[in-house]
Amino acid sequence: MASRQTRSASIPIPANPARNIESVIAIPFSTNPATRPRLVSSGSTRAAVASSPERAITGRMAAPVSPVRTLSGGYAAALNRGPPTQSTITTMFEPRVIRATGSPGHITESPVCVPISVPHTRRTSVPRVPSVSTTSIPPSVLRSTIPLPTAQTASVAPQFPPFQRPAYLEQSSLRDLLYTDAPPLRPSNPLTSELAHHGQASWASTPPPAPYPYLRREQSPSGDTDEDSTASPSPPSTRGTPAPAPSTLLTHPVLRLPTRWNEQDRHPSLTVSSDGRELTFFGPSCIGERDSAAARANNPIPPACGIYYYEVEIVQKPGGNKGHISIGFASPEVRLSRLPGWEKHSWGYHADDGCAFDGHHKDGQTYGPTFDTGDVIGCGIDFSQNRVFYTKNGAFLGMVFDNVGKGVDIYPSIGLRQSTESIRVNFGHSPFKYAIDDHVHAQRNNVWANIQSTQIDWDLLNGKGASADDEEKTVTPKVSIPKGGALEEERMKAPVRQLVLSYLAHHGYAKTARAFQAQCDDSNSRASGSGEHAMDTDRRMSSLDAEFDLRTRIDVINSVLKGDVDTAIALTREHHPVVLEREQGLMLFKLRCRKFVELILDASDALKRVQAEQAATEEQERWDVKEREREAYEEQDGMDGLGAMDVDDPSPEELVDATVSPALSTHTSSTVTGDNTHRYSPHRSITPSLAAKEALHTAIEYGQKLEADYKTDGRPDVRSHLKRTFGVVAYADPIAAGGEVAEMAGQEARARLANELNQAILESQGKPAHPALETLYRQTAAVVVQLGLLGVGQAAFADMSKEFLDA
Amino acid sequence: MSPKTIIRQEEWERRLHDLQVSKNDLNRLVMDYLVIEGFKSAAEEFSHEAGLAAPVDLDSIESRMNIREALQRGDVTDAITRVNDLNPEILDTNPALYFRLQQQKLIEFIRQGKIAEALEFAQEELAPRGEESPEFLAELEKTMALLAFESSPAAPPAIAELLSPAQRLKTAGEVNAAILESLSQGKDAKLVGLLKLLCWGETMLDERAEFPKLDLSAGTFTQSSAQNKQP
């Protein structure tokens, strides 16, 4: 039973729809029929998982430091292996750490020369719960579709892995998806399988603008899974979270890099050293033309690398020219009894004759020098051209082969034929002999220049296919200009300007927008002489229009940012009444909640002033006579009584207007206007203590009204928001309280609300909630990532953050 | 061809939402655009409103724009003087650009009907350069052909184009790029590069997947259903 579970965890079988994610994720790559076999072969990797449950615990317990491995062993033994892994993970809720278990240590525990059957033995030897961890973790891990800020990923992940992501890979735009820490918890289905996500802990600390729905949605299913998994034999069906929609691809897939030779994916004649880097041929040498012994790395090479490179040192090659060491790449279905380059979907550079074999021709092509003991052979694949290159002792040997890795996953692969032959691989464990960084840099620049030579196709960008009808072109003015000319170029500027202008207007950069608009009009009339009057007038009209929107919108936003919610509400009510009514008054509700928080903050400020004053008074005590001190206290007591009486009097609605500003400045009674003024001003100007009490009363009154008004509103959003809002009351100084409370009360929350209100207003006017410029950026980034995941190597060299964001 | 991956709108939007890009990042993109495209006063306002330092001296924007305007109104001599005032190395180190300016000057002579000046200028200034490089010579011959047609409508488009405002813009664009390079700024605004990348990316991805494409004019998406109509 248990072993079945293991299997189901790794391979999408029908019985377990929830786990179908793998195949789901594989969609981008399913274009390639050859990926299927990989799944099968991954079974061996899975076996490795089961064979080293302790590892998982290590990772869990001792995450950051390796020394704890011993400790973990004890822990594992004590807790009977399987389940502890399980429960720890459950409670800690940090799937990512599990991945880190791929630390080199686990290798030591695996027998050096494992027969393929070993995993099964292992499984039976730990019959009770050996596979629970495997079963339970992947789903939860998979289901946590939480987006992860890439920067964090980069900073956290490398703490654990056996070696850092090689420096040259930092030039890949998709570097944040590439991992070297290789935990064999899941089969290493390339590119697709390890779509694990990062611990909520890390991502929760910096939530993106509105991530809460995601967080909540994710938490419950994984919680279910965890509960289930404690009961060891639970069939997969019980954790019946529905399979995600077929097109689901997590936003932050984890692409595993090769980190070692695969214990299970090797010819029996080869042994893998404990660190996973050395391959040695044991037993009788292969005889004849056909046989040989090959091994593949533990993970396929993600095309998202752009260029991937590894080096092999020939540790021992007896027999002079006879040794047919082959270095190259192979897809998973290539037989391990064949040298890379002898079979279809494998490519190899051979030591004995220096020829390069592409798997299609029996005779290799003359390529480079022969190589022998002590030589370091580098082997690189350039996914932007689907070509391969080799280096010898740091010298470049040239590009070779075509269509490498198109439609198949490829693994670093080595073939040996002679007894005692031995090689040692460097997957980035240590510096390379060849200046691979420069190589990648040059190619990156080529590819980028090529991409940047693309003509901007406005029809495409405006959502029209290439076949778009010509009449639609009336959208853009100046139809009569010949294509390709400089005027055409000028014409192309109009949409970009519109893009910028709408961005400025969206965020309320009014002065910039006006200056920009003026300059645009100016240059338009100058560039194209006369005959543009009609258009200019149109433009100006629309700009005036936009400006009008701008003004009120900016005022509204600024009011919220200043904490002046009343003005914000009043302005919105006047200019955009629909906004407040939308979603059954949700926006108004949120504004009123904010108003309450502002009142609490006022009260807190006022209290602070009282305390400051008291502190000052106490200070004075030491110098002053005791009588004065007593007077001061008496005075205050009296005031308090008065204040309290007064505050009870008016309705909270009336108070609303009065409290905000006066409470903030104690000595400005004169600035207070309206009916309320005479009622409070005499006291307020005398001592802050009264103001503090007043402010608190006002806040509480307002809160009560708020609660009463929304008592019947059962919407979960409303309930939880109200709850969190009232939570603020419990703190004398919410901002200083930190955590969620401060988040709820601080300037950040104002900014969030302001942004939300801004978006709501824009939406009510039929405008998108995000400026087109922002959507443009996000769309482009998403397209680049998707291309990288689909194996388009050039995407790795479209580094948006470097090209567009770096100052 | 293998079947396309299908990415639904909902899923796509979630990915877009999850991407990390800050308002400040976008502000800097906009600032870059304003600077490169020469919107000086807008750049000034923007640096105040968005609290963003301009990447270059804003005055350099102005002189760059003055040079561009001089070229656009046909005052090549003024433009050359201004470029040299800004940084004499720009023309010294870039013979092709200097030739382009001289050529433009010749065009302006012809446009104004100053045939004598045009011939003299061509012989004294441009001919020696034409000997330097066949490329220059071809350009010179093309320009001189203008004299033969005397701006008659029968002139072939390639030659008549030299007299069009587009030619001025082209020259102005080249000078602008050279100045920007001397200020170690890109010759194109990053925003333009972003648009190019998206065009490239959507075209590439379109071969492999169905996904919501951006409708930039509306800032929304269009489902690729139209794609299905095509064979």
Looking only at Cα atoms, what is the longest distance across chain A?
113
Q: Can you tell me the distance from the alpha carbon of A514 to that of A491, in angstroms, rounded to the nearest whole number? A: 21
| pLDDT of the residue at A162 | 66
Scanning A9-28 for CB atoms below 8 A from B yields: 27-28
Burial-class residue B51 by CB neighbours within 10 Å (0-12, 13-18, 19+). Answer: exposed
| pLDDT of the residue at A640 | 45
Least confident of A6-20, A288-302, B107-121: A6-20
Chain A hits for B41, CB-CB cut-off 8 Å, are 515, 518-519
Please judge whether B29 and A804 are an interchain contact, meaning their C-beta atoms are less than 8 angstroms apart: yes
Chain B hits for A195, CB-CB cut-off 8 Å, are none
CB pairs under 8 A between A and B: 268
pLDDT band at residue A300, thresholds of 50, 70 and 90? very high
Phi, psi at A610, each rounded to 5°:
-60, -45
Least confident of A206-210, A352-356, A480-484, B145-149: A206-210
* pLDDT at residue A243 tops 90: no
User: pLDDT higher for A191 or A27?
Assistant: A27
Phi, psi at A416, each rounded to 5°:
-125, 160
* pLDDT at residue A40 tops 50: no
Burial A347-361 (b: 16+ CB within 10 A, else e): bbbbbbbbbbbbbee
Tokens of A16: 């377990």
What are the distances in angstroms from CA A4 to CA A14, A184, A225, A226, A601?
13, 17, 17, 18, 58
pLDDT band at residue B230, thresholds of 50, 70 and 90? very low
* pLDDT at residue A334 tops 60: yes
User: pLDDT higher for B42 or A2?
Assistant: B42
* pLDDT at residue A115 tops 70: no
CB contact A650 to B (< 8 Å): no
Please judge whether A519 and B39 are an interchain contact, meaning their C-beta atoms are less than 8 angstroms apart: yes
Chain B hits for A807, CB-CB cut-off 8 Å, are 28, 55
Q: What is the average per-residue pLDDT within A691-702?
A: 85
User: pLDDT higher for A459 or B93?
Assistant: B93
Give me Rg for the CA atoms of chain B: 24
User: pLDDT higher for A524 or A355?
Assistant: A355
Please judge whether B199 and A770 are an interchain contact, meaning their C-beta atoms are less than 8 angstroms apart: no
User: pLDDT higher for A622 or B11?
Assistant: B11
Q: Can you tell me the distance from the alpha carbon of A712 to that of B149, in angstroms, rounded to the nearest whole number? A: 85
Phi, psi at A731, each rounded to 5°:
-110, 135
Least confident of A439-453, A622-636, B63-77: A622-636
The helix or strand, by DSSP H or E, that contains position A754, with its residue range, turns out to be helix A747-764
DSSP reduced 3-state for A193: coil
Domains and CATH numbers, chain A: 2-241 (no CATH), 261-443 (2.60.120.920), 459-562 (no CATH), 570-764 (no CATH)
Shortest distance between the Cα of A471 and any Cα of chain B, in A, equals: 16
Which range, A32-41, A66-75, A93-102, B131-140, is most confident?
Answer: B131-140
Please judge whether B6 and A246 are an interchain contact, meaning their C-beta atoms are less than 8 angstroms apart: yes
Shortest distance between the Cα of A515 and any Cα of chain B, in A, equals: 5
Please judge whether A779 and B198 are an interchain contact, meaning their C-beta atoms are less than 8 angstroms apart: yes
pLDDT band at residue A247, thresholds of 50, 70 and 90? very low
Please judge whether B15 and A782 are an interchain contact, meaning their C-beta atoms are less than 8 angstroms apart: yes
| Chain segment A371-396, per-residue pLDDT in tens | 989 999 999 999 999 999 999 999 99
Looking only at Cα atoms, what is the longest distance across chain B?
69
Place of tokens 């189901």: A8
Q: Are A378 and A398 in contact (CB under 8 A)?
A: no
Scanning A665-684 for CB atoms below 8 A from B yields: none
* pLDDT at residue A535 tops 70: no
Of the candidates A719, A304, A780, A65, which has an alpha carbon nearest to the alpha carbon of residue B191? A780
Place of tokens 């897809």: A331
Burial-class residue A284 by CB neighbours within 10 Å (0-12, 13-18, 19+). Answer: exposed
Strands A178-179 and A255-256: parallel
Please judge whether B191 and A500 are an interchain contact, meaning their C-beta atoms are less than 8 angstroms apart: yes
Please judge whether B221 and A463 are an interchain contact, meaning their C-beta atoms are less than 8 angstroms apart: yes
| pLDDT of the residue at A626 | 64
User: pLDDT higher for A249 or A125?
Assistant: A249
Q: What is the average per-residue pLDDT within B69-91?
A: 90
Sequence letter at residue A237:
S
Q: Can you tell me the distance from the alpha carbon of A103 to that of A277, in angstroms, rounded to the nearest whole number? A: 13
What single DSSP character describes residue A803?
Answer: I
Which residue in the set A461, A465, A467 is minimally distant from B199, CB to CB?
A: A461
pLDDT band at residue A236, thresholds of 50, 70 and 90? very low
Q: What is the average per-residue pLDDT within A277-282?
A: 91
What are the distances in angstroms from CA B132 to CA A322, A730, B96, B127, B166?
60, 83, 11, 9, 27
Q: What is the average per-residue pLDDT within A234-260?
A: 52
Of the candidates A413, A390, A441, A753, which has an alpha carbon nearest to the alpha carbon of residue A597? A753
Strands A278-281 and A178-179: unpaired
Which range, A34-48, A208-222, A229-243, A522-536, is most confident?
Answer: A522-536
Please judge whether B194 and A777 are an interchain contact, meaning their C-beta atoms are less than 8 angstroms apart: yes
Q: Which chain A residue's Cα is nearest to B52? A: A807
Which range, A256-260, A552-556, A689-693, is most confident?
Answer: A256-260
What are the distances in angstroms from CA B61 to CA A306, A379, B41?
38, 48, 10
What are the distances in angstroms from CA B164 to CA A531, B72, B117, B169?
16, 11, 20, 9
* pLDDT at residue A464 tops 70: no
| pLDDT of the residue at A628 | 63
| pLDDT of the residue at A183 | 41
* pLDDT at residue A553 tops 80: yes
Please judge whether A776 and B214 are an interchain contact, meaning their C-beta atoms are less than 8 angstroms apart: yes
| pLDDT of the residue at B46 | 92
Please judge whether B216 and A463 are an interchain contact, meaning their C-beta atoms are less than 8 angstroms apart: yes
What are the distances in angstroms from CA B183 to CA A805, B27, B56?
18, 21, 8
Chain B hits for A784, CB-CB cut-off 8 Å, are 197, 201
| pLDDT of the residue at A83 | 35
User: pLDDT higher for A543 or A461?
Assistant: A461
**Cα atoms found within 13 Å of the Cα of residue A340, Cβ hemisphere only:** 29
Of the candidates A394, A319, A399, A323, which has an alpha carbon nearest to the alpha carbon of residue A356? A399
The helix or strand, by DSSP H or E, that contains position A152, with its residue range, turns out to be helix A150-156
pLDDT band at residue A634, thresholds of 50, 70 and 90? low
| Chain segment A76-94, per-residue pLDDT in tens | 333 333 333 333 333 334 3
Best of B217, B221, B225 to mutate (most A CBs within 10 Å, chain A) = B217
Chain A hits for B204, CB-CB cut-off 8 Å, are 787, 792, 794-795
Which residues share a beta bridge with B209?
B5
Q: Which chain A residue's Cα is nearest to B218? A: A772
- What DSSP assignment string belongs to chain B? -PPPEE--HHHHHHHHHHS---HHHHHHHHHHHHHHTT-HHHHHHHHHHTT---SS-HHHHHHHHHHHHHHHTT-HHHHHHHHHHH-THHHHT-HHHHHHHHHHHHHHHHHTT-HHHHHHHIIIIIHHHHHH-HHHHHHHHHHHHHHHHTT-TTS-HHHHGGGSHHHHHHHHHHHHHHHHHHTT--SS-HHHHHHHHHHHHHHHHHTTEE-PEEETTTTEEE-TTHHHH--
Q: Average pLDDT of chain A?
A: 66
Shortest distance between the Cα of A485 and any Cα of chain B, in A, equals: 6
| pLDDT of the residue at A78 | 34
Best of B2, B8, B17 to mutate (most A CBs within 10 Å, chain A) = B17
Q: Are A150 and A784 in contact (CB under 8 A)?
A: no
- What DSSP assignment string belongs to A374-408? T-EEEEEEETTTTEEEEEETTEEEEEE-SSTTSSS
Which residue in the set B8, B173, B219 is minimally distant from A771, CB to CB?
A: B219
Q: Helix A132-143 vs helix A53-62: angle between axes, to the nearest 10 degrees?
A: 50
Q: Can you tell me the distance from the alpha carbon of B100 to that of B105, in angstroms, rounded to the nearest whole number? A: 9
CB contact A798 to B (< 8 Å): yes
pLDDT band at residue B117, thresholds of 50, 70 and 90? confident
Shortest distance between the Cα of A31 and any Cα of chain B, in A, equals: 5
Please judge whether B45 and A511 are an interchain contact, meaning their C-beta atoms are less than 8 angstroms apart: yes
What percent of chain B clears pLDDT 90, i.e. is strictly above it? 17
Burial-class residue A92 by CB neighbours within 10 Å (0-12, 13-18, 19+). Answer: middle
Please judge whether A782 and B12 are an interchain contact, meaning their C-beta atoms are less than 8 angstroms apart: yes
Please judge whether A782 and B198 are an interchain contact, meaning their C-beta atoms are less than 8 angstroms apart: no
Tokens of A213: 């729905």
CB within 8 A of A164, min separation 6: which ones? A158, A180, A428
Q: Can you tell me the distance from the alpha carbon of A530 to that of A522, in angstroms, rounded to the nearest whole number? A: 12
| pLDDT of the residue at A76 | 34
Q: What is the average per-residue pLDDT within B22-43?
A: 89
- Residues A641-648: contacts with CB within 8 Å, 24+ apart? A642/A683, A642/A690, A643/A683, A643/A689, A643/A690, A643/A691, A643/A693, A643/A694, A644/A693, A644/A697, A646/A679, A646/A680, A646/A683, A646/A694, A647/A693, A647/A694, A647/A697, A647/A698, A647/A701, A648/A697
